[in-house]
A and B are shown apart, each in its own frame.
Chain A
Amino acid sequence: GQQLNQSPQSMFIQEGEDVSMNCTSSSIFNTWLWYKQDPGEGPVLLIALYKAGELTSNGRLTAQFGITRKDSFLNISASIPSDVGIYFCAGQGNAGNMLTFGGGTRLMVKP
């Protein structure tokens, strides 16, 4: 199936630094979601965005739904070692429908 273009593919940063990752698509989505996946586990929802232009925060995480509905970004401020993992963006056409996933951003944080 279709994949979203997610970048960067990986990041290796120092603890305390801010992180930014984004996803773009050629298709419009009605919902953008950001998940984090730890090794050997299923993805865990971080932030859900439902409206174009919406900016939502969850603790140190902030995500925005692009105004064109074809892109989204996720920022993590003041990174800590437990932020390590793979972050996936996902687009959803209609509520309850399947998700299309980005390729993932592997985040590594150096203490």
Chain B
Amino acid sequence: GAVVSQHPSWVICKSGTSVKIECRSLDFQATTMFWYRQFPKQSLMLMATSNEGSKATYEQGVEKDKFLINHASLTLSTLTVTSAHPEDSSFYICSAPGQGNSPLHFGNGTRLTVT
């Protein structure tokens, strides 16, 4: 079945630095990928829709200059958290639709801790 790989699984960084998270579709092509954020004991909230070859679409309240998304190929989308702050600490999860009418499949998430 469709597999989505996310890397790294966890990262600790200092405040002010930038962190890049990768999301890959392993056995299918994804023109669209979705980035979610999940705070402890909360549900997944959509941050942005990543579109291959064009600009990402951001949800209301998500700063596009802070959360840079690049969908450079049909199998890779990256999320870069720029100038990270402790309040950006969260669980970031990407997802992609599989072939045809296949539902969304999720990566294993990236736990970001900003100190």
Contact = CB atoms under 8 A, between A and B. Distances in A.
Contacts of B46: 1, 98-100
Contact of B43 (A33, A44, A88): A88
A40 to B, nearest CB: 7
Given A31-B103, A48-B103, A99-B104, A41 B43 contact: no
Contacts of B27: none
Contact of A3 (B6, B32, B43): B43
A66 interface: no
Given A50-B101, A98-B34, A99-B104, A42 B93 contact: yes
B43 A102 contact: yes
A103 B39 CA distance: 12
Interface residues of B, number: 26
A50 B32 CA distance: 21
A73 to B, nearest CB: 18
Instruction: Bin chain A's interface residue count.
Output: 20 to 34
A43 interface: yes
A47 to B, nearest CB: 10
Interface string A76-110: 00000000000010101001111111111000000
A67 interface: no
Interface in B38-62: 42-46, 49, 59-60
Interface of B: 4, 6, 32, 34, 42-46, 49, 59-60, 91, 93, 95, 97, 100-101, 103-109, 111
